[in-house]
Amino acid sequence: MSSYQIADLERLTGIKAHTIRIWEKRYNLIEPHRTSTNIRYYDDAQARKLLKVSTLLEQGLKISKISLLSDKEINIKVQEIQKQGTDDVTCASYINELIGSMLIFDEVGFDKAFSSAVVRFGMYQAMLKVFYPFLHKTGLMWALEEAMPAQERFATSIIHRRLINAIDGLLPPTKKTKTFLLFLANDEWHETGLLFSDYIIRSQGYKTIYLGQNVPAENLIEVITSTKPTHILTLYIARRELSIIEKELTAISKQNPNLKLLVAGSHSFEKISKKIKNLLILKSPPDLLKLL
């Protein structure tokens, strides 16, 4: 069982700490645990309840009404929102459900929220509206050490499996004008964006050659030489010097001047793009879709 300070709950749910304290006293919404030095803390069940309360508040329900509901009734209300609510509220609900399931390693709950989002929006829109915001929010959580690396691996492994299943369910490529080679460079391990790119490209009928994580430079050159792709797509997520990235991309460009290099990630590539003529920056998944 994890424990959370009230500041953790504020960042996790978006509900102000001061408001949580008021609700404790006025509505007896949750009752904090106390350390031997009388410092309040909260458990997983309480964190998950507040995530659900946050969803109901987004729908416009009053806290005075929510506080009268049992946990079972709160769950039913949340399920109703996911079926009938507006897109924005429904997406917020799915994100909260994913976070709550991740915190306690609830694979069934996580997969249920994932599946519901895909059924409602389709894989492409679900990734944009639910899973990317979820990863962004939990990325902030991990930076604040509110979630363990094991929770990160738990969540991303499920998303990866579902993306791979979605890719496997696509029809074989029918368009031969473009072939995309997808890879992550040395010490790059965040594969979610690469898998989603693979899904987008294949869904449009183009062939991909998927190399995955941590590909050594010499292996990449060999594959390019033997497969002759028209495009290369890679993402840089890990913290590394921009000069190193520029060196890697320049080497690829010089050896393959006719290739189109597609790059995305957490860095600013504007300076590099001015030096490498065949480099194109992808700022979002829709940029890739437009290119296709």
Amino acid (1-letter code) at residue 146: E
Q: Are residues 57 and 143 in the same domain?
A: yes
Q: Are residues 118 and 25 in the same domain?
A: yes
- Higher-pLDDT residue of 225 and 240 is 225
Q: Are residues 109 and 156 in the same domain?
A: yes
Question: Three-state DSSP class for 41?
Answer: strand
**pTM of the full structure:** 0.83
Q: Are residues 215 and 132 in the same domain?
A: no
Cα separations (Å) of 19 from 7, 32, 46?
11, 14, 15
Residue 24 and residue 17 in contact, taking contact as beta carbons nearer than 8 Å: no
Q: Are residues 199 and 278 in the same domain?
A: yes
pLDDT digits (tens, 9 = 90+) for 1-40: 578 888 888 888 889 999 999 999 999 998 889 888 888 8
Of 165, 181, 215, which residue constitutes the final position of a domain? 165
CA atoms of 284 and 286, how far apart (whole Å): 5
What confidence tier does 96 reach under pLDDT thresholds 50, 70, 90?
very high
Q: Are residues 15 and 109 in the same domain?
A: yes
pLDDT digits (tens, 9 = 90+) for 107-146: 999 999 999 999 999 999 999 999 988 988 887 676 666 6
Give the number of other Cβ atoms within 10 Å of residue 188's Cβ: 20
Report CA Rg, the chain: 22
Q: Are residues 190 and 250 in the same domain?
A: yes
Q: Is residue 239 part of a domain?
A: yes
Of 140, 165, 190, which residue constitutes the final position of a domain? 165
Residue 234 and residue 184 in contact, taking contact as beta carbons nearer than 8 Å: yes
Q: Are residues 178 and 156 in the same domain?
A: no
CA atoms of 175 and 207, how far apart (whole Å): 7
Domain encompassing residue 117: 6-165
Q: Are residues 116 and 249 in the same domain?
A: no
Q: Which tokens belong to 197? A: 């790119």
Q: What is the CATH number of the domain that holds 236?
A: 3.40.50.280
**Residues with Cβ within 8 Å of residue 57, at least 6 apart in sequence:** 15, 63, 66
Residue 237: pLDDT above 90?
no
Phi, psi angles (nearest 5°) of residue 32: -65, 150
Residue 67 and residue 28 in contact, taking contact as beta carbons nearer than 8 Å: yes
* Residue with token string 């449009």: 204
Residue 239: pLDDT above 70?
yes
Task: Specify the number of domains making up the chain.
Answer: 2
Q: Which tokens belong to 84? A: 């009938």
Q: Are residues 213 and 272 in the same domain?
A: yes
Q: Are residues 182 and 266 in the same domain?
A: yes
Q: Is residue 1 part of a domain?
A: no
Q: Is residue 260 part of a domain?
A: yes
Q: Are residues 160 and 42 in the same domain?
A: yes
CA atoms of 15 and 53, how far apart (whole Å): 9
- Angle at alpha carbon of residue 210, lines to 98 and 271, rounded to 5°: 85
| Ranges assigned E (strand) in the chain | 33-34, 40-41, 175-183, 206-212, 231-236, 260-265, 279-281
Q: For residue 146, what pLDDT is reported?
A: 64
Closest CA to 79 of 59, 107, 106: 59
Q: Is residue 111 part of a domain?
A: yes
CA atoms of 92 and 111, how far apart (whole Å): 16
